[in-house]
Amino acid sequence: MTLEEFKGIFWWEYFHRLLGRAIGIVFFIPFLYFLIRKQIDRPLGLKLLGIFVLGGLQGLMGWYMVMSGLVNNIYVSQYRLTAHLGLAFIIYAAMFWVATGLLSPAKKQQQSETESTYSHLRRYSFYLTLLIFIMILSGGFVAGIHAGKAYNTFPLMDGHLIPPGLFVLEPWYRNFFENITTVQFDHRLIAWLLAFFVPFFWLRCIKYSLSPSAKMACHLLLLALILQISLGVATLLSAVPLTLAATHQAGAMVLFTASLWVNRKLSPT
């Protein structure tokens, strides 16, 4: 790496750290102000305090992640990278849920269908969100070991539906986190599962007389999935250029947001 190249990554890293600290200050000072003025009730205060604690843990995780690239390997650990990524999405989900609850308190659906029907849809949407979160974590491992640089074909992996070499590492569970073939295969497999389950969920939702905003959320979830899969295929076929890779990561946030919005709109409380 040349000095100029190092300067480039230094400023990205330095800005990232300053932004993290600024977020903490921007969150904590208003929180303290409204708390002192007793404009935050106890339940909301505990939720906000929990988010602030998660933010502090995220800073520690970021430090722990960067430290792994300063020992024997110039690359950070894919385990710590994925933990850092996952925690970021958890913080975002908590902020989204609290914010939407304040801006638009959920009301119990006054529909002709039974409550068990809505309970079923809520349960399904929760598991979809969990699957999307798992896919995001698998994407962290893909990025962490540069698995996207291999098998740049679609829909097959270099001519194979199930590529050879999925379990060449010992013990077997290491393959899910350290084997380029297995890590990319898992990421694709989860995408295929979502490509089936999200449209199925969408078809179920449009059958019922949901509120217009709930139906809109379901439509956006389907559109976000189509966009994200398209970005993923384009990123893979072009051997992961930085711009497309970053856009694909942003697409994951859009898809995750859409799934959270569906959960909020189907939530009775």
- Cα–Cα separations (whole angstroms), residue 245 to 24, 138, 251: 27, 14, 10
Cα 11 off chain centre by: 25
Cα 163 off chain centre by: 26
Closest CA to 67 of 55, 82, 58, 80: 80
Assess contact for 27 and 51: CB atoms under 8 A.
yes
In terms of pTM, does the model score above 0.85?
yes
pLDDT in tens, the chain (269 residues): 788 888 888 888 899 999 999 999 999 999 999 999 999 999 999 999 999 999 999 999 999 998 876 667 777 899 999 999 999 999 999 999 999 999 876 555 544 445 666 788 999 999 999 999 999 999 999 999 999 999 999 999 999 999 999 999 999 999 999 999 999 999 999 999 999 999 999 999 988 878 888 999 999 999 999 999 999 999 999 999 999 999 999 999 999 999 999 999 988 76
Length of the chain (residues): 269
